Amino acid sequence: MPLSPQPPYVPRILGIDPGSQRTGVGIIDLDPAGRARHVHHATLHLTDNETFALRLKQIFDELGALIDAHRPDEVAIEKVFAQRNNAESVLKLGQARGAAICAVVARGLAVQEYGPKEIKQAVTGAGGADKVQVQHMVALLLALPQKPQPDAADALAIAITHAHTRASVARLGLPRTFWRRR
């Protein structure tokens, strides 16, 4: 009896836009041709918590539940963008990012990191694009009926960036570290 051919691998990618007030999440699937298909997006609203520590717990718990429900294969997160004018905000953002990363690695998944300019470049073609441009392009690329909320759009953009990057790595056969100018 002949074996049935295995269906092609369709990776599911979770993108995370960490924040101390709102954390965006977006999930896409890649079809065998490499096209992205929308699966889920949401914004975790964190400001109802009494303490900052409870916000971090909410990120950890809700991301964990989302991972358990949607079973992503790969995860990408935005790197911290350090604003020079507010060190406390940068520290809080780093802690929120840490809670998100812990939720991911606690479930045995690796995390890829992308900078804000890299994400904007991959999705809009311009590293200096604003949030409205990112929302518009994410809705266009994923054939969404309307623009997602900005944090969710950013998370979907992170997932799309990872999808583009993984395709380039596969084509070139070189890790991302070799792409940088020396």
CA-CA distance, 78 to 150, in Å (whole number)? 14
Distance CA(153)–CA(25), nearest Å, equals 8
**Residues 56, 49: Cα–Cα separation, whole Å:** 10
Residues marked active site are found at 17, 78, 151
Tokens of 158: 């992170």
| Separation of alpha carbons 124 and 180, rounded Å | 20
Whole-angstrom distance, CA of residue 24 vs CA of residue 110: 18
Residue 93: burial class (beta carbons within 10 Å; 0-12, 13-18, 19+): buried
